[in-house]
Each structure stands twice: as C-alpha cells, then as structure tokens.
C-alpha cells in the first residue's frame, strides 16, 4: 500500500572481522561482526529448517500450554473516517528466507493507512516485514560512561498489507482483515489461520487438529465395531445358505479401513509436528480410503441399491470418492490453514456417512449409538429396510410424561411405520425392560381418533434404542403425530421410520401368444396332453394330427326341405330315427 518501499537486502555475510593485536578499533568493526553473527544464524535457519511461519510459544512448553491463545498474535484495529490504524504485538516467527521475527524485543508496532489507499479492498492479509539492513536505537541497560547515548539496537519491523515478492521472503503473515457483509468498517477475520511451523503455534490450528484427530479416532472405533458385526453377519448368512459375495467385499473394505485408520491415529498424536506432515498424513489416509472403495466393486452394489430406494445423498458421496481418487499427490498447503482444516473435516464426514450406511445393514439398530444421524435402518438380517420419515419437531415434558411431536407430515396411512425410542448413550437399557407409549394420530386436525397404546421391549443386553411398530389403515393421510412416554424412562428423543419394500427386477418372461382356433377331434391322447401341467415357459411344438380335408357344405334349394314355420304347433316330438333319416328327394318326371 506504500509508494516508497525500503530496499531489502537478503544476502548473507559469512566473513567475520579479522581481529589482531595492535589493530585500530572503530565502531564499524563491531557492526561487521554483528552482521556476521546474524548471517550465521540465518544460514542455519534458512538451509537447515524446512518450514516458515509462526512459532508461538515454541515446542518446549508444557503439554498444558501447547497451542494456547496467549501466544497468538494480537492485532488491534482502530478505524476513523480518514484512516485505519493497525497495531500488532506478540508475534514470534520465521520468514521464508530464515529471518527471525520476534516483536517481544521491540514491543508492539503500529501503522496508519489512509482510507483512500484502501478503497475497493474487501480483505487484506496483515504482514510483519523485517528490514535486516536497518537497526533501531533504543534505550536499554544504562551506561554510566555514555549517559547521553542510547545503549541498544533492536531489529526493524513494519506492518504491510501489500508486499512484493522480495518483501514476502522477509515477512510473516499474522492475520487478515475484511469488510463484513453488513458494514463498511474493517474487522479481523476469525476464519484465517496463517502459516505455522508447528501445530502448537496457533490456538485455532491446534483446535482444528484436535477435531480432526477426534474424528479419525471415532471413525477407527466405528469401523472396528462394524468389522466385528460383519463377521457375525457372515456367519449367519453362511449358515442359511444365502449369497455373501457382496458382503465379502464389504468386510475386506472394513478390514483395510481399520488398519489404515489405526495407523493414521498414531501418526497424528504429535502436536509439535509441522502442519504439512500432519495434513499430508490425513490426505494419504483419504486417498487410501478412495482406493479401497474403488476396488470393492461388490460393496458398491449395496450403495446403488440405496440410491435406487431414494437415498440420493450417496450419489454425491460416491462422486467425491472418485474425485479423491483422481487427485494428484501433493504436500503443498494453502496459505490459509483454516481451509485445510475445513476440507479434511468434510472429507472425514463423508467417510463417516459411508460408514453409517454400512452400519445400518450390519449393526443392529437397537445397539447403534449413531442412529440419530442415520436416514435408514435395516432390521436384523438385512432383509427389511426402513427409511426415515420424520424427525421430531419438539419435545415437551409435562408432569410425569414426555410428549414428542411430529408435525408437517404427509404420510400415507396404509404404510407400515416403526417408531424408535432413542435412549441415553451413557445409560443403556437392560434386557427385558418394557416401555409403553401412547400414539395419537392427526391430533391437530380437529377430529380426535382413538389413541394407540403400544409398548416396546429391550430384547438385547445394553440396548440403546427400542422399536415400536404400528399401522393406521383407517387414516388416509397422516399429518401429525404425538408420542407420549413416561418421563422416568431415559428416552432422549424418537425417530419415525416407514417400511420400504424391495421389488424384484425385470426378469425375462415368456411373450404372450395368441391361441389359434383349430377344430381338432376330441381324442383321449389330445385331452391328456391338454390337461398336463406346463413345466416351463418354452413355446410348445404344435401337435401333428392327421386331418381329413373338410368339404364345405353346399346350400340346399329352397324347396328341397319341408320346414314348418315356427308359429305352427308341434303335437309330438319327431322320432329319433326320423331325425337321423334324411328326407328323400322326389324325382320330377
């Protein structure tokens, strides 16, 4: 933002002063020796250390002080109609060129920027720039021999919002300022994390890394439990003689994920490691998960089945896995580490959703602790699918009862529904506990129907969820639902699921064929063949029957047959012999 910029000198002087006896000493000799010592330290930092950025309190702090906010840079803004004052203090870091920047030696620094220079600027990064060629004279330890002189020299730093490529090598980013969406005054951006040398250098970076580690530990535990449930599932299906090819791919995927997540969790425990090593390990785990998912072709059929049932959420998740597989391998990080944290957490959330889909099939929903985030559940055995119909609108406690309200529903009464009572995660129900529930349907419509009094029983040890099935065939459309349970039971909330029916795919069926009308004689062999059951859908070959040519009947003359009119009375029935005997024709002479 400044028009006049100081000259930057980034060269290292590794030649010291030749000190000899009898030499004439001047202040220039000591200044040259000082530059030599500074260059020696900068050489070691520049060529021997890989990172740059903020240091914070360092890596030798106690465990309780690592990543605390009292070592974060402090940026203060004071804005008027004509200017913007920025003050920075408590900064400790290393520039990309290896220059040590520590404001504790000079206290705080401040700079005033003209508002005209900031016209049209929506956001800007605040840098602390070092000038190695300049030293500031300050008052330090008192010198009785030279009381009129300033006794110490401190490094020179300044604040900049726009730096050149040369200045960038001698600066450290400390914060970012922005204009809010609803105002014109600048403010510090809380979603910006500058480059750091270690995870403990900034409190927000440490907090984000802690959330990533917790998410990976949660995934590792979930996949381990899923793998154990899959093995039990395989045993049950093998005993019943069911097809388990798809389940074999799923169990292999879960096994690979358990090993990869456990290794990643151990590699991320060090809180003093560089951010590039931390996020590179997370990327490696995500890329490995995408590979494991790609080679498990049988397991993908399960997600395709869910997508066909209406779970369109998995379509985007599968595309993200393919996109992750196509990305190149890199360890380069964004200048804003908050973006890296956000991308890592989002990718881990996608893996968690994929795991929840498998958990809905292989882990009994009665013992699941993550059922509130599931959109569907399978009953034990994986044969009946229940899709989430509604979540509760509110929960209200009155006296010794708790009422759970489901509102704004449009459900068909002819479907079958399953109400799941979700209990406390810290206090599971024991086997045999029964919970009664009163279900009122369409209570807010003005027409009061008789309530359903049902109960659910805990069928397993340490069960967290209890199911209650009900139907409402006399209700055309369910618009609201009220569930009342005793408050002394540890019911946290409830979820409403509807049963989804699987329909068989299109099979090749025999084409419909017309039946030709043929005048066949009623022979015993033909009747037996007609009465025989059809064994297959294959077209039967026509039966060859020896037929005699049919001679068409010629019409007779009008006067050839003596036919009585219908109105003439018939006194007696004709004799059978007369009927069979053809009338004789008279020969006209």
HEC profile for 181-198?
CCCCCCEECCCCCCCECC
135-173: b (≥16 Cβ within 10 Å) or e = eeeeeeeeeeeeeeeeeeeebbbbbbbebeeebbbbbbb
Q: Is residue 67 predicted with pLDDT exceeding 60?
A: yes
Q: Is residue 21 predicted with pLDDT exceeding 70?
A: yes
Q: Is residue 568 predicted with pLDDT exceeding 70?
A: no
Greater model confidence, 12 or 437: 437
pLDDT per residue as tens digits for the range 105-143: 678 899 999 988 888 888 999 999 998 888 888 887 888
Q: Is residue 521 predicted with pLDDT exceeding 60?
A: no
Q: Which two tokens stand for residue 242?
A: 């069911």
Q: Is residue 217 predicted with pLDDT exceeding 90?
A: yes
**What is the crossing angle of helices 275-295 and 313-326, to 10°?**
120
Model pLDDT, residue 2: 46
Q: How far apart are CA 248 and CA 81, in angstroms?
A: 69
Greater model confidence, 17 or 384: 17
Model pLDDT, residue 311: 66
Rounded mean pLDDT, 560-574: 49
Model pLDDT, residue 398: 82
Among the listed ranges 90-94, 342-346, 565-569, which one has the minimum average pLDDT value? Answer: 565-569
Model pLDDT, residue 127: 95
Model pLDDT, residue 528: 45
A 10 A CB-CB count for 588 gives 4
Strands (E), 304-441: 376-378, 385-390, 394-398, 401-406, 411-412, 416-423, 434-441
Q: Give the confidence band of 514 by pLDDT, cuts at 50, 70, 90.
A: low
Q: Where do you find CATH 2.60.120 in the chain? A: 371-500
pLDDT per residue as tens digits for the range 263-298: 999 999 999 999 999 999 999 999 999 999 888 887
β-partners of residue 494 are 421
Model pLDDT, residue 194: 95
Rounded mean pLDDT, 453-470: 89
Model pLDDT, residue 561: 46
Q: Is residue 39 predicted with pLDDT exceeding 80?
A: yes
Rounded mean pLDDT, 341-367: 85
Percent of the chain with pLDDT over 70: 79
Rounded mean pLDDT, 167-179: 93
Q: Is residue 469 predicted with pLDDT exceeding 80?
A: yes
Please, what is the average pLDDT of the chain? 80
**CA–CA–CA angle 556, 562, 567 (5° rounding):** 120
Q: Is residue 211 predicted with pLDDT exceeding 50?
A: yes
Class of domain 371-500: mainly beta
CA distance to 415, 471, 478, 482, per residue, from 443 (Å)? 19, 16, 10, 7
**CA–CA–CA angle 90, 1, 184 (5° rounding):** 80
Q: Give the confidence band of 506 by pLDDT, cuts at 50, 70, 90.
A: very low
Q: Give the confidence band of 341 by pLDDT, cuts at 50, 70, 90.
A: very high
Q: Is residue 310 predicted with pLDDT exceeding 70?
A: no
Q: Give the confidence band of 45 by pLDDT, cuts at 50, 70, 90.
A: confident
Greater model confidence, 42 or 434: 434
Model pLDDT, residue 8: 53
DSSP 554: P
Q: Give the confidence band of 322 by pLDDT, cuts at 50, 70, 90.
A: confident
**388 phi-psi bin (left φ>0, alpha ψ -120 to 50, beta other):** beta
Q: Is residue 508 predicted with pLDDT exceeding 50?
A: no
Rounded mean pLDDT, 194-216: 95
Model pLDDT, residue 243: 57
Model pLDDT, residue 256: 92
Greater model confidence, 550 or 284: 284
Model pLDDT, residue 244: 64
Greater model confidence, 404 or 572: 404
Q: Is residue 562 predicted with pLDDT exceeding 80?
A: no
């Amino acid at each position: 933002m400044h028009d006049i910029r100081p000259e930057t000198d980034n060269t290292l002087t590794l030649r010291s002063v030749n000190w000899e006896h009898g030499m004439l000493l001047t202040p220039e000799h000591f200044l040259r020796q000082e530059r030599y010592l500074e260059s020696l330290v900068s050489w070691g930092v520049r060529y021997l250390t890989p990172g740059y950025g903020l240091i914070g309190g360092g890596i030798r702090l106690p465990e309780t002080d690592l990543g605390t906010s009292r070592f974060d840079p402090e940026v203060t803004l004071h804005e008027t109609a004509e200017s913007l004052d920025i003050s920075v203090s408590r900064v400790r870091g290393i520039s990309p060129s290896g220059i040590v920047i520590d404001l504790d030696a000079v206290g705080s620094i401040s700079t005033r920027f003209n508002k005209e220079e900031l016209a049209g600027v929506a956001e800007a990064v605040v840098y602390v720039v070092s000038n190695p060629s300049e030293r500031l004279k300050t008052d330090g330890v008192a010198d009785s021999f030279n009381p009129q002189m300033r006794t110490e020299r401190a490094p020179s730093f300044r604040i900049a919002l726009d730096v050149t490529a040369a200045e960038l090598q001698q600066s450290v980013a400390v914060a970012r300022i922005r204009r809010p969406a609803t105002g014109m005054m600048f403010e510090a951006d809380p979603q910006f994390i500058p480059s750091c040398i270690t995870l403990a250098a900034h409190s927000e970076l440490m907090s984000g890394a802690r959330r990533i580690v917790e998410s990976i530990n949660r995934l590792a535990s979930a996949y381990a439990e899923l793998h154990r449930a899959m093995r039990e599932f395989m045993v049950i299906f093998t005993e019943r003689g069911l097809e388990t090819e798809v389940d074999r791919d799923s169990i292999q995927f879960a096994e690979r994920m358990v090993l990869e997540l456990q290794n990643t969790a151990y590699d991320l425990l060090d809180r003093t490691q560089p951010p590039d090593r931390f996020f590179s390990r997370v990327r490696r785990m995500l890329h490995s998960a995408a590979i494991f998912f790609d080679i498990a072709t049988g397991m993908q059929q399960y997600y395709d089945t869910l997508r066909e049932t209406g779970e369109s959420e998995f379509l985007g998740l599968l595309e993200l896995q393919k996109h992750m597989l196509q990305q190149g391998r890199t360890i380069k990080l964004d200048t804003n580490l908050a973006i890296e944290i956000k991308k890592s957490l989002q990718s881990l959330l996608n893996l968690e959703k994929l795991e929840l889909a498998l958990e809905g099939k292989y882990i009994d929903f009665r013992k699941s602790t993550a059922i509130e985030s599931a959109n569907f559940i399978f009953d034990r055995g994986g044969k009946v699918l229940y899709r989430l119909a509604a979540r509760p609108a509110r929960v209200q406690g009155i006296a010794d009862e708790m009422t759970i309200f489901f509102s704004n529903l449009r459900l068909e009464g002819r479907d079958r529904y399953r109400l799941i009572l979700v209990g406390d995660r810290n206090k599971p129900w024991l086997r045999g506990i029964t919970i009664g529930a009163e279900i009122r349907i369409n209570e807010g419509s003005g027409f009061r129907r008789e309530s359903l009094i049902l109960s659910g029983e805990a069928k397993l040890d340490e069960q967290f969820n209890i199911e209650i099935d009900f139907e409402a065939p006399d209700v055309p459309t369910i618009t609201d639902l009220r569930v009342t349970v005793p408050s002394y039971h540890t019911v946290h909330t409830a979820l409403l699921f509807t049963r989804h029916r699987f329909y068989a795919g299109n099979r090749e069926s025999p084409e419909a064929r017309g039946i030709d009308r043929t005048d066949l004689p009623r022979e015993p062999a033909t009747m037996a063949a007609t009465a025989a059951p059809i064994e297959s859908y294959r077209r039967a070959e026509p039966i060859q029957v020896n037929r005699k040519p049919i001679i068409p009947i010629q019409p007779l003359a009008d006067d050839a047959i003596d036919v009585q009119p219908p109105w003439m009375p018939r006194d007696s029935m004709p004799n059978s012999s007369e009927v069979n005997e053809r009338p004789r024709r008279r020969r006209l002479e």
